[in-house]
Chain A
Amino acid sequence: MSGGQTLNLFLNIGFPIALLVFAYLIGSLIERRHFANIRKRESELRGFPVTTFERLPERWQVSSAGLVSGSIVVSLDYFKRVIAGLRAIVGGRVKTYEPLLERARREALLRMTEDARRAGYDAVINVRLETSRLANAAGNGNSTAGVEMLAFGTAVKLERR
């Protein structure tokens, strides 16, 4: 009777709360470290031009060009998912998702830029970002396993800038 109730109460309340706390602690640790890592790599790539120009600026003399891309797949943690679920009832800015997508955008751009620099290019123009949602394991479209953020552009090697 009571033993069963205690177990039920633990399963119904205690376990989700423990999972929430765990997900929040680990999730925010990973997020902090990722942002620190992103900032460090961004400052290393500071002088590398990444633009959304569709055409080359007139004075640029290009010796070679090629496609570069960078992508990242990110998933929500349980804490963000639960809080966003509550937010979805009343609507408004889904504040817990914002840092996640910000990380994804900047990471994808960084990977693309790093790819371009490694290949010996001097700049990337016509940069585009695309997002696609990954189906969850059940494939029923009710939830998502995560999103892919893809950054791609035309890398150019310059003779004279």
Chain B
Amino acid sequence: MRYVPREPRDGINVSKTHALVEAGTLVAGFSLIFVLIVLVLVFMVELALLFVSPEAEARVFENWQPGDLVAVDADDRRLAEVDALTQRLARHWPDSPYRFRVAINDSEKPNAMAFPGGLIIVTTGLLDRVQSENELAFVLGHEIGHFRNRDHLRMLGRGMLLTLSLSALGDGSGAGLGLTIADLTLRGFSRRQEADADEFGLTLVHAEYGHIAESTRFFERVADEFGGDHGYYEYVATHPSPEDRIDEIRELGRQRGWSESGPPVPLQW
């Protein structure tokens, strides 16, 4: 027997497919699949909403409080003020099935959220920053708008279904891609919802005060505080950027012929 020296050959154990082609195929394919899944989930939530009347929701969640989000401070006079203002605004939506309640969450970030059963949670960061009743009224009106459009249930339903679907993927790169795609897909829907809630909020504010002065002041201040760095990803931001939002609100006011000037009502705290 003779030993014939020979070098190992390339290309036997390694696929010819370029790594980037493999990556591109997988990422594009899964992105498409995830977009479809998210659209199906959105559709399922819309379908489910047909079976839950606002009245049933208001009844079931009448006294519900998410304990970990709410920091009730009985001494905070602002709670009573915000609550009273909410009730005044809600009077301009006579068909509302909700008995609105307000709670304060101790968080530095200015925010307000709508929860099932007519619960509105505002953060201390928001209360620290508003400087007139009119500013606060628009933020509360916006949240009431979410209730009227049932967005709070949409967000809850989508979040639950999404978490459930993504948990099937474990914590690998599939879940990471899925979350990113879901986030980007849902932004389109949520922008529309935010604009609709703004419109209803502004309607309530105008009905209450007879003008819409100061409605955008809060956003102007937030825009100043957080600087101009939100410009980059404006097109995908959850809320329209404060500037866009201010423009849209002003434009809406002009269309309806609502006065932008009027005496601001000072806060009682």
Contact = CB atoms under 8 A, between A and B. Distances in A.
Nearest to A82: B173
Contacts of B3: 49, 51, 161
A89 interface: yes
Interface residues of B, number: 45
B165 interface: no
A3 B237 CA distance: 10
Interface string A69-89: 000000000011111011111
Contact of B26 (A9, A24, A86, A101): A86
Nearest to B244: A2
A103 B41 CA distance: 44
B19 A1 contact: no
A89 B222 contact: no
Contacts, number: 109
A39 B11 CA distance: 13
Contact of A98 (B14, B229, B238): B14
Given A79-B19, A83-B26, 20 more contacts: A1-B226, A1-B242, A2-B242, A5-B230, A5-B238, A6-B230, A6-B233, A9-B237, A13-B180, A16-B176, A46-B5, A46-B7, A48-B5, A82-B176, A87-B22, A89-B30, A89-B169, A89-B172, A93-B15, A99-B14
Given A4-B226, A5-B233, A88-B172, A95 B22 contact: yes
Given A87-B26, A89-B174, A3 B14 contact: no
Given A12-B183, A83-B26, A89-B30, A6 B172 contact: no
B180 A24 contact: no
Interface in B109-131: 109-111
A101 B13 contact: yes
A47 interface: yes
- Pick from B1, B172, B173 the residue with the most CB of A within 10 Å: B173
A46 B7 CA distance: 6
12 contacts: A2-B223, A2-B230, A24-B19, A46-B7, A51-B3, A79-B23, A83-B23, A85-B173, A86-B177, A88-B172, A89-B174, A96-B23
Interface in A1-27: 1-6, 9-10, 12-13, 16, 24
A112 B1 CA distance: 24
The 6 closest A-B pairs by CB, nearest first: A2-B230, A85-B173, A3-B226, A85-B172, A82-B173, A86-B26
B176 A3 contact: no
Nearest to A28: B19
Given A89-B169, A96-B19, A42 B8 contact: yes
Given A6-B232, A86-B26, A12 B180 contact: yes
B241 interface: yes
Interface of B: 1, 3, 5-8, 10, 13-15, 17, 19-20, 22-23, 26-27, 30, 109-111, 169, 172-174, 176-177, 179-180, 183, 222-223, 226-227, 229-230, 232-234, 236-239, 241-242
A33 B238 CA distance: 45
B5 A3 contact: no
A106 interface: yes
Contact of B237 (A6, A12, A51, A95): A6
Contacts of B183: 12
A104 to B, nearest CB: 11
A5 B7 contact: no
A95 B8 CA distance: 20
A15 to B, nearest CB: 11
A101 B15 CA distance: 12
A23 B226 CA distance: 33
B123 to A, nearest CB: 12
